[in-house]
Chain A
Amino acid sequence: MNRIDRIFRDLRARNAKALMPFVCGGFPGIESTGPVLAALERAGASIIEVGIPFSDPIADGPVIAAAMHTALTRGVTPEAIFERVGSARAGLSVGLIAMVSVSIVHRMGPAAFAKRATHAGFDGVILPDVPLEEAEAALAPMREAGLSVSLLIAPNTPADRAEKIARACSGFVYLMARMGITGTRDRLDAAPLAGRIRALREVTDLPIACGFGVSNAEHVRAVVSAPPGGAGADAAIVGSALVRKMANAPDPVDVAGSMVRGLAGGLS
């Protein structure tokens, strides 16, 4: 059984929810990658998304785009991230998901990318910048390699299309909590999100993870608490808020750990 499936099965059995922090691989430095993963696990993350830096991340807002740009300027490559994750994997029990642009997958070849990611200890991938129709070519080799594959469902995705996307996913479905690009925000309104999650539950049994604009413990609570107070998702994804904290920290590993500990407070 894929580790992601097992994590969600265990969480469901305990009626618990998952926190999925996102970090940019190789940011702020390649040497921090392993220690950051360990710190996030200790702080209460169930699954960690590791972004593979890309030169033109059009689905990402200024915070993550700048982090990726910094990492690339410092010479970080997908291979370097695979190596660091590979060395850290044995000491970790969290799920590890690579968030990667279709441009990088295309260049390396889907099968080669899947092989390398699996070897490094990744359990799944998220393809954020490709729709279902163009993802097909990449999906089969990823699945064959044993990786879970998650595509995004947007607020403006029609119901019948959302069903098709969910059917192509494994591990979990990534539901965007708002339109636009990744980034932080002040308020998160759970009610409309709850409606979308309810509709999605009718067409899929996969766990539903929500990201985009989820910035603090209160937002995490709003995303994972049961309706009517919350949206009832299985997992909350926090990216930009965490990356921003790490960007300005003298000790990014420490800061990432304490931020995620705070976010995990929103799970209960």
Chain B
Amino acid sequence: MPQAAISAVPSSSGRFGVYGGSYVPETLVSALRQLEAEYASARRDPAFREQLNHLLSTLVGRATPLYRAERLTALARERSKTGKAATIWLKREDLAHTGAHKINNTIGQGLLTKRMGKKRLIAETGAGQHGVATATAAAHLGLECDVYMGSEDVRRQRLNVVRMRLLGARVVEVNAGSRTLKDATNEAMRDWMASVEGTHYIIGSVVGPHPFPMIVRDFQSVIGRESREQSQSVIGRLPDCVVACVGGGSNAAGMFYPFVDDSGVELVGVEAGGRSNAPGQHAAPLSYGSPGVLHGSLSYVMQDAFGQTADVHSCSAGLDYPGVGPEHSYWKDAGRVAYNAVTDAQALEAFTTLARCEGILPALESSHAVAFAIEKAGAMRPDQHVLVNLSGRGDKDVDEACRLLGM
């Protein structure tokens, strides 16, 4: 039965099935074409790959380890109805330089920026991890850097604001709309429309107009490639289930993509279930949204009957976004990836649980995946294996956690 592999996307027009595309003002068309051409040439250039791999190894600290979470697995067993659970493994992206997977993408796009001869980087950030990773790439490569961040996120992720400034970046506070990631993205796009000749916009997730969803996925796919190899050598086979949190969806796309053609591996994306499934109380467009156009591509989005973007909520700034990458929409409709939502309370519980069980403080974003995996492992056989992408560390979240936990 000859059928196109699910990995054979996007099309030349940037479509993942019906999703994706390039819905931007005319001003940006030439920059997107330039980026597409530059990326195509960089991909074929062994010197580019060598330079990227060298930086991933010496600056980022890759490969990140695969960690067997023994005590977390024991906890999953205790909580399981059967008293049995699959083994839980963590892909330690929290150990990547700057504390999250975001840097895999910013180093790659930073190198593309140099190739295009542009001197300035801009970025949007929610939790601040993408901002810090962009500021780091800019410092390493000698580029100017401005990061747009909603004022609500500036408040709840203060530590990362200081880090960006120490790294030499300018943090531009955005007071429009909900003052979170969506509004920061609007402002970064507006900046880019006026500055496109000399500036590259590093989008931090697998969202935005073509070719961004493809480029970000490709640079993040190092996570899934390493995980495959490590699973083969440590477990002796591929895991039975792979779990990752999904906001825009870059850590999940990077983890899932190298596994999507392995039909024996179950893939689960975990969205931010927030306070409840009522409108405005969560940030889970794949679970509760509908297809629409936001920030340059067609994908699931939280919107009203007229296409106005709806308010969303998550305790985690990195997941507090009404849209999601188009490839996730494609995977959802194709039935290849299952998407679930985990609430703020469940994520917070997993945040403290992982810290106490394993001595690892996860990011609130990643805590959503951990929460799901504990339950999932308990519903699986003890000879099976669940791999969780631990996309970032939780140091940035301590202020917010104190507030939410009343510590």
Q: Which residue of B lies closest to A100 (CB)?
A: B307
* A165 at interface, CB cutoff 8 A: yes
A179 near B186 with CB under 8 A, answer no
Chain B residues with CB under 8 A of A128: 25
| Cα–Cα distance between A72 and B193 once the two chains are bound (Å) | 24
Interface residue stretch chosen among A39-47, A53-61, A139-147: A53-61
Q: Which residue of A lies closest to B297 (CB)?
A: A134
Considering the complex, which residues of chain B in the window 181-238 have a beta carbon less than 8 Å from any beta carbon of chain A? Answer: 182, 186, 189-190, 193-194, 196-197
Interface size class of B (residues with CB under 8 A): 20 to 34
A103 near B22 with CB under 8 A, answer no
A103 near B177 with CB under 8 A, answer no
* A131 at interface, CB cutoff 8 A: yes
A103 near B292 with CB under 8 A, answer yes
Q: Which residue of B lies closest to A137 (CB)?
A: B21
B307 near A131 with CB under 8 A, answer no
* A153 at interface, CB cutoff 8 A: yes
A55 near B26 with CB under 8 A, answer no
A56 near B26 with CB under 8 A, answer no
B306 near A107 with CB under 8 A, answer yes
B182 near A56 with CB under 8 A, answer yes
* B352 at interface, CB cutoff 8 A: no
Most A Cβ at <10 Å: residue of B22, B24, B197:
B24
| Cα–Cα distance between A61 and B190 once the two chains are bound (Å) | 8
| Cα–Cα distance between A165 and B26 once the two chains are bound (Å) | 10
B292 to chain A, nearest CB (A): 6
A153 near B186 with CB under 8 A, answer no
Chain B residues with CB under 8 A of A176: 26-27
**16 residue pairs from A and B, CB less than 8 Å apart:** A55-B177, A56-B186, A56-B295, A61-B190, A62-B176, A77-B306, A103-B309, A104-B307, A107-B307, A108-B306, A131-B29, A132-B26, A134-B21, A154-B25, A154-B26, A165-B26
Given A103-B23, A156-B30, A165-B26, 9 more contacts at CB 8 Å? Answer: A55-B177, A59-B27, A69-B177, A106-B292, A107-B303, A133-B13, A152-B25, A156-B27, A156-B196
List residues of chain A with CB under 8 Å of any chain B CB: 54-56, 58-59, 61-62, 65-66, 69, 72, 77-79, 101-108, 128-134, 151-158, 161, 165, 176, 179-181
